Structure 1
Amino acid sequence: MSITLAMTNTPSLTQAPRNPDLSSPRYASRLSSGLALLFMAYVAPGWADDLQGSVDEITVKAKSTHSKADAYYQKDAGAATRTNTPAMETSQAVNILSRQVLDDIHATRLDDTMELVSGVSRQNNFGGLWDNFAIRGFAGHDNTGPAMLRNGFSGNRGFNPPRDTANTERVEFLKGPAAALYGNSEPGGTLNVVTKKPQFKTSNSTEVYVGSYDTYRGVIDSTGPLSENLAYRLIVAAEDKGSFRDYVDSERLLLAPSLTWLISPSTTLNYELEYLKHRTPLDRGIALRDSNGRRLHNIHRNRFLGDPDAGDTTMEAFTHQLSLEHEFSERWRGRVGVAYKLNRTDGDALETRPGFSFISPAGDVRRRLRQRDLDSNDLNLLAELNGQFDTAGLQHDLLIGMEAYRFENQQWLGNNNGVGNALSINQYFPRYHIALPSSFTVASNFREQQTNIALFLQDQLSLDEHWKLMTGVRLESYRQELHNRLNNSITRQDHSVLSPRLGLTYVVNPTLSLYTSFSRSFRPNAGTAGGNQFGLDASGDAFDPERGRAWESGIKYQAPDQRLGATLAVFDITKTNVLTNNPSQPDFSIAAGEVRSRGIEFDLSGQLSERIRLIGSYTFTDAYLGKDLQLSPIPGLLPNGIVSAGSRLSNIPRHSANAMLMHEQPLASGGKLGVGGGFSYVGKRADSSEDLFELPSYVTVRLMSYWQMNPKLRLSLDVSNLFDREYYASSYNSSWVMPGTPRMITLGLQAKF
């Protein structure tokens, strides 16, 4: 096994472009070459049958999925340990949504899964341009989003378009800090998206959907062998999605080719490319309160406060992943890999100015025209070795690894507030197609670069038949460089961070286990809390990273047939060094904030019988400020600008619950009929960091049905928000509140050939 082989034809740390242009001929040529190769793969099934005799043997050895991989209850712990550890022996809560769950709810975007997992709540989604969520009350950075992985590699640095599920095999929610394995992250948890892989058995499928508000979607998924030891997969998804929001339509295109090469019986090389383009107007939602803090009533949930003439915002993301895996023996295996991601976001938007003072009692809303040009590139290298051995009567499952990355983020933001009320709009009587200014004042122009190298070590010890001890630690050294191009100042900082992890599990019997754990986390501070200086304090110095610590204990149950499982967990998490306004210099920030979260989670999933499958959860989360928070004063509402300790964190409900059930009935004709439904309950939430007002609680109901006419043809019909409940999905403040989607009906046809 050679690290050089894993890095072949991959940009090096010095070769990665500083100003990536995704529309340049070089990237167009790279994409065209990949598509040409995959076009050959797409026509390969016609002659692949000649190889079937030899491929059958390979399929048995190299199988990556089986019938239980799609079950509602997943008995493995996924990426929680980076090893093949059963969930019952893992000292943390893990929720895995399999492909079967995604298919049953017909999830097309990652956001569709958020209400199925305990402790996960929606957050401000940057005007509909990205995925944003909180786990156990911790939402990540306002401007970069939450911690997210893609096949174990970092997948969310920079601005990323909303994830499409066409190339998703399963979604893993890893509760609690993951810093001991994955580095900088939130202490509430981390999400890992596992992509679909090539298979050595020919399979082709297509899906077509038509839905409310002129929504159309098509998916093609083709996989199979190219030779005895080479398999391909090509996934293409295209979507033209209407919306209940006026003038807010979206278009997206996903291209995901991948190859698997069985170099030898013990060595596998995998390559994946994913290109995602997403285009839509930036939509900040509606304003709920006026300058006096009074509620504005009877605002239509379809009301768009931008202007169609401002155009769309376009997001593009190229993701390359190359990994080489080798089995040295039955007990030792290694992996080296590289991931390289390029992101670009650009476009204009006429958007609401945040703050009570810009909303009049008559419904007039002040706006500003903004122009964005955001670029990032992210190179990630990984090498790890995993093995099992015995010493002094103890069984060890040892993991040793090294990881390094270089991330570069460049942002240019232009701003025009207009003259007087020239750009204003009235929420009750909107007027569109106004004259837009053509000039901008540069509001922000900076470049951030992070470089990081880390070593991690984890040992899972079986002390005896019942006691399992997990120890882990990650040591990393990172450098952060901030270049403010407005004044040409450059600030650098270096930090070394140690992130430990300790967990103990007592396996009572094959159906019951108890666990407890402690872990720490960190995340670089690279932003402001209301000031205008990116990542710098009043002295021009960068901030120390945020630090988190978490305790968790719980009980896990697994049915004797391993088809049903449940977890009951309690947690207590504290995060310190959070950025807040500098009381003496409001244009700057200080790292003095503290937030806490504690609560109880319950999850249940699996087969109740041969014909009934179920998933459900309940969460109590008390997420609040641990110290007073200093913000800008709000006359009449928050005169001193101080949000007191104990105030709730925004968008985090104290109570939330969901349940979904699917029943399948065989038909005399040989087909199958599936009928199911479920509900989601989200409690009251603070609507902003000031915790002055709250968003009301809500319940939505969904219905799901399908008719499996034969093994190759299926017709589906789904209704979300069955009773057309009006609700608010999330908010950033009272000026940016996103209404929830009304009743939506989707008809789909899925075919295999």
Structure 2
Amino acid sequence: MHPTRTYPPRLRRARPAIASASLAALLELAASAAWAAEATPATDKPSAETTLPAVQVVGRRQSGEYNGRESDGATKTDTPVIEVPQAVRVVTRQLVDDLGAQRVDDVLDYVAGVSRQNNFGGTWDNIALRGFAGHEDRTMSLLRNGMPSNRGFNAPRDTANLERIEFLKGTMGALYGSSEPGGTVNLVTKQPRFTAGHSVEAYYGSHDYKRLALDSTGPLNGSTDEPATLAYRLNVSAEDKDSFRDHVHSRRTLVAPSLAWRLGADTRLRYDGEWLRQEAPLDRGVPVINGQLGTVPNSRFYGEPGDGDITIDNQTHQLFLDHALSPDWELRAGLQHKRGTLAGRATETHQYGPGTLGCATSMDTRDWMCRRVRDRDFASQETSLQLEAYGRLQTGPIKHDLLIGAEAARFEQDRTLLDHAGGLRDAVGISVSNPVYGQIAVPALSPQLTDWNGTLKDRQQALYVQDQLAWGDWRLLAGLRHDRAESRYTSRIDGSTAEQDPSATSPRLGLTWLLQPHLSVYASVGRSFRAQTELDASGRMFEPQIGTAKELGLKWESADGRLGGTAALFDIAKRHVPQYDPNTDTYAELDRVRNKGLELELTGQVAPGWRVALAYAYLDADPSLTQFARHTGSAFVVHEHSLADGGLLGLGGGVTHVGARSGEDPFAAPPQLPAYTVAKLTAYWRVNTKMRISLDVDNLFDKTYYTSAYNRVWVMPGSPRHVTLGAQYKF
């Protein structure tokens, strides 16, 4: 028998957005030590074999961890990942830095069981976990610091203000409510520090890629006699780039301020804000011609450059309060308000063939592409509130981590989509082999689609409870959540309404057996639900999707915690899945879909100076769910070497393999997307404690490949070789 987990005298780590007194003191001490270590003369620097990874306040990391041992999102407690009865992959900031990832999308290839989905021409993030994705126009299940963050229209997330990315695999319905049974992604943002630190980063790369970033943190008050009680953090990034795609140019700006207050010995308050704007054309990719990919250059653009950009503006405000009632009990509150807009005009290609929304011209018979002009003006706002009580208690030999919570949310969305009267017209078409832009007369646009011109109002309430029991070598997690929603959609075209008030109860049960202090086996089962606002042919909303996920797995980590791995088997079923039929322009409901599979992951330090991230997934997806490869895998390795002058040299690389996939829309019968394998090279030189130079080469061998397909005319090619040179400076 090994000793069970011990508890500190006072709970001081509740969630990423809340710091407490004892933890804050530890972080401050660690940060001070890190900065002191960086200021140490090179002659006093220990050898690489004895150097411990420093806790760095800002800037690119060296010698940090790949193996994320804790996840705030998995249980909303400080339970070690090895004790959580589900697969959890934490992408640490160190791995984000080593990959040179500027988007969440840039890390997906190195996580088992993750696949890309339709991203609406590059305007938002959309992925699937274990073969289950959110609605094609509503994107995936996403959390930001444990708060719902996926509704509305959100530009692709930047990594400038992210501390880590948690992939919570399997159903999380008992904790977070409406979600996918394949898993949920939790973005954890950087927190203010009470020790000052600042860094600037500059990048230049292929296709005139330019990026600047700032990360600054420190106290706002305090003195030598009085400790600081208020700290800030500010992350800013600006990006401007062309593309390997003709006539595609994008601009992005991120401003993310945060503040942390010590209101007393037992109370902490944190504000976390984010403003993100993206301006870029709507890019639908390339078409399949006569059943063949690669017939047209992957750089060719079939929109209209004169349409201008689709502009997305996002604002997120989060406020978190943590108050300790006693050494064992605390109260938490989280308040979030989000606003988002998406606006702009785009000339879009559309799938062809008889009976397809008035487009009678087939590309199989002549050199012509059907298109349509659409003007979008979408806006949404959401306010959500979480209240929780968390405590530790003991009944006989059993220790409990008890969480009780309530949640309420209000979501409103206004959509205006102007389209052609009568659908598609050859008058706005374009030549496939020799596109000529600026030759069309934009037809009169007016609202045509009932389900895309109107207002949607949602109200949601939930109660949830979770208990984690620990006795000896056993851990039992039991959770239950009850959700109730009210949804009402009002069409602006004819005034018709559709409404529903679904409710669902989502249980979760998991058992972990600690065979050894660093080896565990687990089994879990749980349910999920996701309310739907899609309309069927009769104008009614579909029934909520209900998922059931079963999982069996093994977890291991080294004695020092620097290396860890997971093996997981899963079996997931979901009911009431709508599927789009372009022949009728309506949705039909699939009664039941089922995915099964295996995931293997190993991350961490395998030897002094060597970091690895290995992942493999086998997915036996339901035949009705397409665009999922049966086999995917990746490997990323970095080696660091200490230089005689005190500098540091890092060299690494990675390889990603994605198996063959069919396109997402079975009605449009796209061809199978071919398997592909691409390589990456990364190198960096830490000149001294302040200066660092980096080089990243993506798609090293300039492989032609395709990441996703929605139909025969919306196939998204992968980027050719891309070289990025960067410089990072701390001060």
Superposition TM-score, scaled by structure 1 size: 0.85
Equivalent residue for 2:205?
211
**Alignment size in residue pairs:** 664
Confirm or deny: 8 A CA contact 2:352 2:370 kept in the other structure. no
- Report whether the alignment pairs 1:264 with 2:260: no
Partner of 1:59: 28
Does residue 366 of structure 1 match 2:370?
Answer: yes
Equivalent position of 2:403 in the other structure: 399
Tell me the residue number matched to 2:14: none
Aligned to 1:84: 78
- State yes or no: 1:470 paired with 2:474: no
C-alpha spacing 1:440/1:498, structure 2 compared with 1 (3 Å): same
Residue 319 of structure 1: how far off its partner (Å): 0.4
**Residue 733 (structure 1) shift:** 1.1
- Could you tell me how far apart the structure 1 residues matched to 2:248 and 2:304 are? 10
Comparing 425-434 and 162-171, the one that deviates more: 425-434
CA contact (8 A) 1:537 1:543 kept: no
1:63/1:77 Cα in 2 relative to 1: closer, same or farther (>3 Å)? farther
2:109 counterpart SS class: helix
State the AA in 2 paired with 1:520. R
From 664, 674, 689, the equivalent of 1:711 is 689
Query: Map of 1:586-665 to 2, 5 A cutoff?
Result: 586=584, 588-624=586-622, 647=623, 649-665=625-641
SS at the partner of 1:710? Answer: coil
| 1:225 to 2:243 alignment | no
1:437-448 aligned within 5 A: 437=442, 439-443=444-448, 444-448=452-456
Deviation per residue, 1:296-319 (Å, 9 max, x gap): 553101010101011110000010
1:154-553 paired onto structure 2 within 5 Å? 154-227=148-221, 228-290=228-290, 294-295=291-292, 297-356=294-353, 359-361=362-364, 362-416=366-420, 420-437=425-442, 439-443=444-448, 444-462=452-470, 464-527=471-534, 535-538=535-538, 540-553=539-552
- Return the alpha-carbon distance in structure 2 between the equivalents of residues 508 and 537 of structure 1: 54
Paired position in structure 1 for 2:680: 702
650 and 67 in structure 1: CA distance in 2 versus 1, 3 angstrom threshold: farther
Deviation of residue 236 (structure 1)?
1.0
Comparing 647-656 with 106-115, greater Cα deviation is found at 647-656
Could you give the per-residue CA deviations for residues 152-185 of structure 1, whole angstroms, max 9, x where no partner exists? Answer: 0001101110101101110000001111000100
TM-aligned CA deviation for residue 196 of structure 1: 0.7
Distance in 2 separating the partners of 1:223 and 1:472: 37
Contact 1:296-1:363 at 8 Å conserved across structures = no
Distance 2:462 2:54 in 1: 37
Shift of residue 594 of structure 1? 2.0
1:263–1:269 contact (8 Å) kept in structure 2: yes
Cα 1:593–1:289, aligned 2, differ >3 Å: closer, same or farther?
farther
Q: Return the offset for 1:256.
A: 0.7
Question: Structure 1 residue 496: deviation in Å?
Answer: 1.8
1:680 aligns with 2:656: yes
CA contact (8 A) 1:289 1:356 kept: no
SS of corresponding position for 2:687: strand
Q: 1:359–1:744: structure 2 CA closer, same or farther, 3 Å change rule?
A: farther
By how many angstroms is 1:343 displaced? 0.2
Report the Cα distance in structure 1 between the residues aligned to 2:459 and 2:532, rounded to whole angstroms. Answer: 14
Contact 1:206–1:751 at 8 Å: present in 2 too? yes
For residue 588 of structure 1, report the CA deviation from its aligned partner.
4.6
Partner letter of residue 311 of structure 1?
A: G
Q: For 2:425 and 2:190, locate their aligned partners in 1 and report how far apart those are by CA, in whole Å.
A: 53
- Counterpart CA distance in 2 for 1:248 and 1:208 is 22
* Structure 2 counterpart of 1:481, one-letter code: R
* 1:60 Cα deviation after fit: 3.8
Which residue matches 1:637? none
Distance 1:298 1:693 in 2: 13
Contact persistence 2:180–2:529 (CA under 8 A): yes
The DSSP-based 3-state class of the residue aligned with 1:103 is helix
SS of the counterpart of 2:665? coil
- Map of 2:138 onto structure 1: 144
Give the superposition deviation at 1:63.
10
2:374/2:419 contact within 8 Å kept = yes
Distance 1:158 1:119 in 2: 25
State the match for 2:40 in structure 1.
none
How many Å separate the matches in 1 of 2:725 and 2:581?
Answer: 53
Where does structure 1 lack aligned partners over 5 or more consecutive residues?
A: 1-54, 528-534, 625-646
Q: What is the CA-CA distance between 1:58 and the residue it aligns to? A: 8.5
**Deviation at residue 590 of structure 1 after TM alignment:** 4.7
- The separation in 1 between residues aligned to 2:516 and 2:248, in whole angstroms, is 54
Distance 1:718 1:296 in 2: 29
Worse-superposed segment, 416-425 or 125-134: 416-425
Offset of residue 77 of structure 1:
3.1
Amino acid at match of 1:466: D
Separation in 2 of the partners of 1:81 and 1:613? 27
Distance 1:671 1:64 in 2: 19
Contact 1:174 1:190 in 2 (8 A): yes
Q: Which moved more, 1:387-396 or 1:213-222?
A: 387-396
Amino acid paired to 1:304: F
Q: Evaluate the alpha carbon distance shift between residue 586 and residue 288 of structure 1 in structure 2; reply closer, same or farther with a 3 A threshold.
A: closer
CA offsets, 1:533-571, max 9 Å, x none?
xx2452x43322011001000000111111100000000
SS at structure 2 position matched to 1:128: coil
Q: Following TM superposition, by how much is the alpha carbon of 1:591 offset from its aligned partner in structure 2, in angstroms?
A: 3.7
User: How far 1:392 moved relative to its partner?
Assistant: 2.6
Amino acid at match of 1:714: R
The one-letter code sitting in structure 1 at the alignment partner of 2:302 is L
Residues 253-306 of structure 1 show CA distances to partners (whole Å, capped at 9, x for unaligned) of 00111110011122110001100000000000010134xxx3255310101010
Out of 199-208 and 586-595, give the one that drifted further.
586-595
SS in 2 for 1:516: strand
1:398 aligned partner, one-letter code: L
Alpha-carbon distance in 1 for matches of 2:217, 2:162: 14
8 Å contact 1:604–1:617 — kept in the other structure?
yes
5+ residue gaps, structure 2 = 1-23, 35-52, 57-63, 222-227, 355-360
Comparing 91-100 with 76-85, greater Cα deviation is found at 76-85
Secondary structure of the structure 2 residue equivalent to 1:247: coil
Matched-pair contact (CA < 8 Å) for 2:32–2:195: no
How far off its partner does 1:62 sit? 10
Q: Following the alignment from structure 2 to structure 1, what is the Cα–Cα distance between the partners of residues 389 and 32?
A: 22
What CA distance in whole angstroms lies between the structure 1 residues aligned with 2:480 and 2:374? 44
Q: Post-superposition shift, 1:651? A: 1.8
Tell me if the contact between 1:235 and 1:257 (Cα under 8 Å) persists in the aligned partners: yes
* 1:648 to 1:493, Cα distance in 2 relative to 1, 3 A: closer
Contact 2:593–2:624 (CA<8 Å) still a contact in 1? Answer: no
Q: Deviations over 1:683-736 (max 9, x none)?
A: 000113316631000000000000000010000011000000000011111110
- Report the Cα offset of residue 476 of structure 1: 1.4
Counterpart of 1:576 in structure 2 is 575
| Aligned-partner SS, 2:269 | strand
3-state SS in 1 of match to 2:28: helix
Instruction: Compute the displacement of 1:589 (Å).
Output: 3.9
Determine the C-alpha separation between the residues in 2 that align with 1:189 and 1:604. 19
Range with greater deviation from structure 2 (692-701 or 147-156): 692-701
